[in-house]
Structures are given as structure tokens and as C-alpha cells.
Chains A and B, each alone.
Chain A
């Protein structure tokens, strides 16, 4: 297993998790708690937006985040496995 493909796998993983967790923080803590009163000025149907995000929207966002993570990681895993097997082939060829 090549250490360079392992390194880039881990870097992409960290980047993915950090971007998803920033959405997690933005929706739950920023929109649902810190700026909830400001967002409450916007209404849709019978909801105030801030209140809806706090009691409904945040949870739906959490589901979406995990589903995106699952898909992205599956893709990343298969890329890594491809890269790792390419590396093995290359080293074998060089050895010949």
C-alpha cells in the first residue's frame, strides 16, 4: 500500500468532514440558536423560519449531511482502492 495515496485519502476525508461539519454548525448553532430571533422575522405557512429550523429543519439537515457523507466516502474509498492497486502494479512493473 502506497503511503502517498493513503496520505491523499486522509486529506480528502478531513476536507469532506470539515465542510460537512461546518454546515452542521451553521444550521444548528448559528441558525437554530444564535440568530433564531432574526430568522423568525421571515415566515412561511404557519412557521417562523428560525423556530422551524430549530425544531424541524436542523434534524432534516442532519439526515442530509450523513447521507452525503456516506455517498462521498464510498466514492473516496473506491478511488483509493483503485489508486492503491495501481501503485502495486507500478511497483511490480518497476521490479521487473
Chain B
């Protein structure tokens, strides 16, 4: 009923916008990374791919390598993210499971309470912890009085009493968990909510114990949504630099995002910053592709219905 070209035209402005401000922007990063820099260390991008100088990038990587310092940051970032993801899952799954399955008449309220932190500015939530974890803050005192501080110190996760903000990896990881869990809980909730209850009831009717019904029916159906949710918080965590900045002021907790930020925004090493940005993007590409495929197939299912 509509002319065939109309949808293509409708999509055109948005497509152009994204092409220019996303694709070309990313191309600019590549051109900077493979380009030159002037004597004032300002980037001189090479726009023609034929001019791209692999030698520069190799040299840049060699500079970056510098005794493996960058590798250390990278491994540290991976470590933080993996631990934070595991903890997020440990916290997020039961909560989402409860909200989706057992909240009953509380469901609306529980859901609202889960959504609220989602919409509170990330920085504000970090700043809240900043004052809570100050040596005389309520949080520090609470941890001290409840013995949580003692446990952390026994486990070697905290060096000194009240020293939460003194460059402690544990504090940074917990801050990451606190910051990103809300973004995991809701997709998890959605994934669990989508599971058809009748499949679980059928399993129970066929004699499955609650435990095996969970393991063999619920969980497998939840896994794709779960992985998608995990990817959704993993990607921004890898690019995080503000959390370590606010929760610790030492180099001991610096993440790959801090390196990029320090080179591009804080200092005058835009070229090596661009190289690191590309490196990070390539590393995350696998996760991105997984997520995109996941959403695409989910989208197809929706359309098929």
C-alpha cells in the first residue's frame, strides 16, 4: 500500500547520521592510530588507507608495551571485570529469580525498587560510596562495627582499618559490582520472566524434583538472556575509568580505561590512546558480536510470533 521506496527513505536520515557520527568517527580513530603525530604530539591522521603506516603502530605498541606495563593494566582490568561479573551474577540471579517467580503480589513494588537504582546517576551512586567509605563515614563505621572490616582484613582484601579509599582493589571491584548490578538484574528478570511456566510445571508433573526442574528446564532457558545480560554489563565495565578514579587515587588500581583516558583526555598522547582504543575494541568485538547475534535472533522470534 505504500510506495516501496518510502521505508528506505525513512531510514535514510538516521542511517546517514550513524554513518557519519559512528562509522566515520571510528574511522578517524583508525586514521589517528595509523597516522603521524606532529612535533607537539597532536595527531596528524592519515585519511588515505594507503598511507597507513603499520610501522608506526608497531612502534607505538612497542612504546606501550614498555616492560609489560600495559599488559599488567590489561590483565588487572580483566581480573577486576571477571570478579565483578561473577559477584554480580551471584547477587543478581537470585534477585531476578525471586522477582520473576516468587514475588507474587509484591511483584510490582519489587520491580519498581529494582528499577530505581537503574535510574540514579552512576556517578551519584559512586559519590554516595565515596562519603560512606571515608574513614569517618557511616559505611566505614558500619563495616567496622559489624566485623565486615575485620573479615576483609583477615582475607587480605583491606590493608588498614578504615582505609577503603586508599587504593584497594577490593573496594574498586565492589564499587563496580554496585554500579553495574542494576543493569544486570533487569535483563535477567526479563529473561526469566519470558520462560513459559508451563514447561516447568510439565517437568514437575513428569516427576522432576524442584532442583532438577530448575537445573534442566529453567536454567537452560534462562542462559541466553543471562549471557546477554552479562555481556551488557561487561562491555561498559571494560571501558570504565571513573570508578577507579573516584574510589581509589592510586596507580595500583588503574584500569585500561584509565590508560586511554589519561592519554587522550588527560595528557598529550592521543595517538597511543587511539591505538589502545582500537586494541580494546578488537578485544571486545567477540562479546559485541555475540550480543548482537543474540538480540537479532531474539528480534526474529518476536517478529515470528
Q: Do the two shown chains form a genuine complex with each other?
A: no
